[in-house]
Structure 1
């Protein structure tokens, strides 16, 4: 049997993609999920609530690595209740996983946390790992999240936090709603179009997780994004090109606000803000990107 990797909260788009990637590499995969266990081939599902110790903790003991994806989706309207759940789901899962690790007889050698580039706020300035943080609710969430993850320095396991960018993959994730808009001839520039998208291909992200799990030199915080961020205007133009669509009228900011609240049931700031981030530490560590050109990445995901 291969090394066991535990994916906490791994039943979402990014978690399932990593699970299947790891299976292909010969690992055992266990997903901790709030939902009852589905039938999903070789992946083992174990129920947990994301905040209290239970029988699930036995899966951590003797595992090779733990990767934590847990957190309520930010793709919602930021009501008081949703804000509280966005924060608590992230902090509670970090705390209880650390508690489970500390009681292990054979602790995992790596504890990898999925974080977010949202910590840099809304900026067009180039941001590496040492750039100043932004301001606002999303930034505050990320700051609390990272502080909690590194609150207690663990000798074993290594602690790695990946600030994930705009991950592009097939059959889900951030790309699907944009593809739908383009197919309906609604894929124009969003708002000013000057907001940056720090994008990366899902294959590169999965390899980043693998490096964080296996490479003992990885420790601390990394910007998990591609090396070539682009503006929303450039991104939407590339997506239209790949999908064979011509020029489309832009979506002015007032329309984006209206559509987000009335039809998408989400915060308009998710579409109207952005950040220009680069993966300096990954590049310095020698990480090799498969996809650095947006149209090449989109053709792989849409045409294949």
Structure 2
């Protein structure tokens, strides 16, 4: 009998990538989705609403692990309504997953929560897991999210939270819009260009999730990012190099803000802020990165 892993809210870019990876490793994968129940290849989709108990809780029984990706995308304008939903969707899913696990006779041995490096705020200082938190809305969301995740102790279920960086992968995710900009000769430095991008290859991220699931010595908080963060200026230069593009005009912060609100319909701070994070605890666990060179990683994903 193969081991079953539940991916709560796993129908987005990172969840689908992890589902494919785990299926290749021989696991049975069930995605909890707000969409319709269905079967796609080796992955089964089960409907849930992300906030209340229901028939989906049967999937929790005898599952080996749960990975929770649930939460409204932060890629939006931070209206009062969107702010409320960003926070509510995260807190509700953490609460209901805990409730479902508590109702199990044979609960999963681990629950892995997908978190965010945004908790460190906008900083150029090197941030390991013990670095001070920043300020602002995104930081407050992360803090309340993490507090909710660790608030409830589950006697038979280990808890791991991965603060995920700028995950690079094919066919979607954070890289796709940047590639489009560069192809249209708009891939210059964004804002000051000094803001850091803590990047990692999605394949390494998938292996981090698997390590958190399989290694019963892992618990608590880990920075899920690569070992070599770069500035926005360095990242965009590498991307232009890979795509065979020369110099491109920079985008000053006021123009970025205007374009974010008018055309991208998103918050400009997502492009204008950054953080310089390192995976200190994963390194201590002897995690081996397969992708540490940015240009090689971009060539692998784009070409």
How many angstroms does 1:118 deviate by? 0.2
Q: Tell me which residue corresponds to 1:138.
A: 138
Alignment gaps of 5+ in structure 2: none
Q: Tell me which residue corresponds to 1:297.
A: 297
Measured against aligned partners, the alpha-carbon deviations of 1:154-193 in whole angstroms (never above 9, x if no partner) come to 2221000000000000000000000000000000000000
Question: 1:109 & 1:181 partners in 2: Cα distance?
Answer: 43
Root-mean-square deviation (CA), in Å?
0.6
Q: Tell me which residue corresponds to 1:77.
A: 77
* Matched positions, count: 303
Measured against aligned partners, the alpha-carbon deviations of 1:128-170 in whole angstroms (never above 9, x if no partner) come to 0000000000000000000000001222210000000000000
How many angstroms does 1:38 deviate by? 4.3
How many angstroms does 1:42 deviate by? 1.2
How many angstroms does 1:202 deviate by? 0.3
Question: 2:135 & 2:4 partners in 1: Cα distance?
Answer: 38
- What's the TM-score once normalised by structure 2's chain length? 0.99
How do residues 121-270 of structure 1 correspond to structure 2 at under 5 angstroms? 121-270=121-270
- What's the TM-score once normalised by structure 1's chain length? 0.99
Question: 1:208 & 1:189 partners in 2: Cα distance?
Answer: 30
Q: Tell me which residue corresponds to 1:90.
A: 90
Of 33-42 and 134-143, the range deviating more from structure 2: 33-42
Measured against aligned partners, the alpha-carbon deviations of 1:32-77 in whole angstroms (never above 9, x if no partner) come to 0001134411111000000000000000011000000000000000
Question: 1:38 & 1:247 partners in 2: Cα distance?
Answer: 47
Report if aligned partners of 2:38, 2:46 keep a CA contact under 8 Å in 1.
no
SS of equivalent residue, structure 1 residue 150: helix
Q: Tell me which residue corresponds to 1:112.
A: 112
Alignment gaps of 5+ in structure 1: none
Question: 1:217 & 1:170 partners in 2: Cα distance?
Answer: 31
Question: 2:98 & 2:277 partners in 1: Cα distance?
Answer: 29
Question: 1:178 & 1:156 partners in 2: Cα distance?
Answer: 43
1:25 paired with 2:25, answer yes
Q: Tell me which residue corresponds to 1:49.
A: 49
1:34 paired with 2:39, answer no
Question: 1:258 & 1:54 partners in 2: Cα distance?
Answer: 43
1:102 paired with 2:97, answer no
